[in-house]
A and B are shown apart, each in its own frame.
Chain A
Amino acid sequence: NAGVTQTPKFQVLKTGQSMTLQCAQDMNHNSMYWYRQDPGMGLRLIYYSASEGTTDKGEVPNGYNVSRLNKREFSLRLESAAPSQTSVYFCASRAPGKGSHQPQHFGDGTRLSIL
């Protein structure tokens, strides 16, 4: 019962490099989300996908792109990494929108450092 799986778990990049963070869920959830977590800032939403084929910007989308490849997978891409994007990135998914009381389920995070 894997839940939400994120790869890689750790990554170090140089400024200007590009990278894609992968996320997959096996719970047949419709909605998927990308957050970043920085000290003292809580979790801030980058992008989300309410269903396959749709994506929407969150609070801090600049410098990122996303792809909802299929129902299971939602990737986050940094086209030209900047030191300000050093953070811990979390992917989450949520059960079908039968009720918004459904919780979000989180992966274990990707710790990204940009030098």
Chain B
Amino acid sequence: AQSVTQPDIHITVSEGASLELRCNYSYGATPYLFWYVQSPGQGLQLLLKYFSGDTLVQGIKGFEAEFKRSQSSFNLRKPSVHWSDAAEYFCAVVRGGSGNTPLVFGKGTRLSVIA
């Protein structure tokens, strides 16, 4: 079965500092990977996705993520965090080529940004 682990429940960073949120997945074959962001009281918004090609993918709001098959990881990064990035971030995985199979989500990492 597919699973996703986000090791950090809560991270606090200073505004302007760099950010890396960790995501590890468990699936033997080619996974398709996603990062979503959830602002308080809102639904989930897609930041970026990976399914093939270049292992470094760019997303919205200045985020990027790197797929590392050898480490089963898909970490999310941003060079300079803004106060508006405070939110909860979810990593998700689905089996490649599985049609309409639902995504499996990690438990999320809550990001706080301090001045």
- Quick one: CB contact mask for B21-60 with A, threshold 8 Å, 1 for yes? 0000000000010101000011111100101100000000
Count of A residues near B, CB < 8 Å? 28
Known: A41-B107, A103-B34, A103-B49. A33 touches B43 (CB 8 A): no
Contact check, A100 vs B95: say whether CB atoms are below 8 A apart.
yes
Q: Are B94 and A100 interface neighbours, CB within 8 A?
A: yes
Shortest CB-to-CB span from A1 to chain B, Å, is: 14
Residue with the greatest number of chain B CB neighbours at <10 A, chosen from A30, A45, A100, A106: A100
Q: Is A61's CB within 8 Å of the partner chain B?
A: no
- Name the residue on B nearest A45 (C-beta): B102
A4, B43: Cα distance in complex, Å: 10
Contact B99 A40 (CB under 8 A): no
User: Size range of the interface on B?
Assistant: 20 to 34
Q: Is the CB of A42 within 8 A of B108?
A: yes
Query: In the complex, A92 Cα to B105 Cα: how many Å?
Result: 13
Q: Is there an interface contact between A103 and B46, defined as CB atoms closer than 8 Å? A: yes
The complex places the Cα of A102 from the Cα of B101 at a distance, in Å, of: 11
Q: Can you list 18 A-B pairs, Cβ within 8 angstroms, ordered by A?
A: A31-B102, A42-B90, A42-B105, A42-B107, A42-B108, A43-B105, A45-B102, A45-B104, A48-B100, A97-B99, A100-B94, A100-B95, A100-B96, A100-B97, A103-B34, A104-B44, A106-B36, A108-B41
